[in-house]
Amino acid sequence: MHPPFDLALTMHFEPRIHTSKLKVAVVHKRWIGKTEREFCDLLNISHGGIGLSSPWLNARPGQKLCMELYYHQEVFTTRGIVTNVNSREKSDLYGVAFTFAPPELDRLIDIFKREHLEASAAHNTPNADPIKRHFGKRIATQNLQVQVKKLDSSAPYVLCEVDNINKGGMGFYAPELIHPNTPFDVSIQISKQPDPTIISGKVHYMQQKLGGYYYGVEFKMISLELSCLLDEIETILQQR
């Protein structure tokens, strides 16, 4: 796994869309005239790439993949390169950056994005929690990692994959159990050594998922650096 993320690297990220409307298969050409398709679970998609889950794909960072995405009767042939692999007990997680995607798929992703925004707007009713509205929508991320441990614990930090984040908190995947009962306080290292930035939070939600554990954490304190960066990212995304 890669070291904790450098905050400057987050600037190119695009919100990921979670949809059950697409199916995906990795295409293997074993020999001339023989093609095999290995179906994977599609975790998310954006114009830049997709997230996959598979217990048997066994791909490596830097490996090139040929993929087919299925939407009703349509088939979109794409190519990509594996940028990130996270091993899980039952199913590995893969980040794949597109090197080619047809314009028709881009248009379909735009439709999914509009549907997502409309659903989010409908969910954000006037009676919604004003604190949550103030913090803004969660920014979906890809290839971001932090290190997390239970506050005041002697256990080492656990390298975790960030799923989404805003100034109020974040959701992340951990390959192992950090603590069995919620709520609990955590220490979060968000930048590299030798002078790491540490923030604190409280985990309110935990679920065993994808061979690991998914946690939802509310920040108690965030650094000015992270706050300013999230403002910049949100401004960029609103301009797209």
Q: Report whether 172 contacts 132 (CB < 8 A).
A: no
Nearest Cα neighbor of 211 from 179, 185, 235, 175 is 175
CA-CA distance, 7 to 141, in Å (whole number)? 12
Q: Alpha helix locations (H) across the chain? A: 103-123, 130-135, 224-239
Q: What CATH class does 17-122 carry?
A: mainly beta
DSSP state, residue 15 = P
Pairing between strand 169-174 and 212-221? antiparallel
Domain with CATH 2.40.10.220 in the chain: 17-122, 141-239
| Cα separation, 220 vs 164, whole angstroms | 17
Exposure string over 69-106, b if 16+ CB within 10 A, otherwise e: bebeeeebebebbbbbbbebeebbbbbbebeebeeebe
- Identify the CATH assignment for 141-239 out of 3.40.50.1220, 2.40.10.220, 3.40.50.80, 3.40.50.970: 2.40.10.220
Whether this prediction's pTM lies above 0.75 is answered by no
CA distance 79 to 56: 19
| Residues making up the chain, counted from first to last | 240
Residue 160 CA from chain centroid, whole number: 11
Which range, of 9-13, 172-176, 229-233, averages the lowest pLDDT? 9-13
For range 153-173, the mean pLDDT: 85
pLDDT in tens, 190-209: 776 666 778 888 898 888 87
Q: What is the pLDDT of residue 5?
A: 40
pLDDT, tens digit, 9 for 90 and up, residues 18-33: 788 899 999 987 666 6
Which tokens hold the place of 12? Answer: 């190119």
> What is the per-residue pLDDT for 129?
37
> What pLDDT score does 6 carry?
40
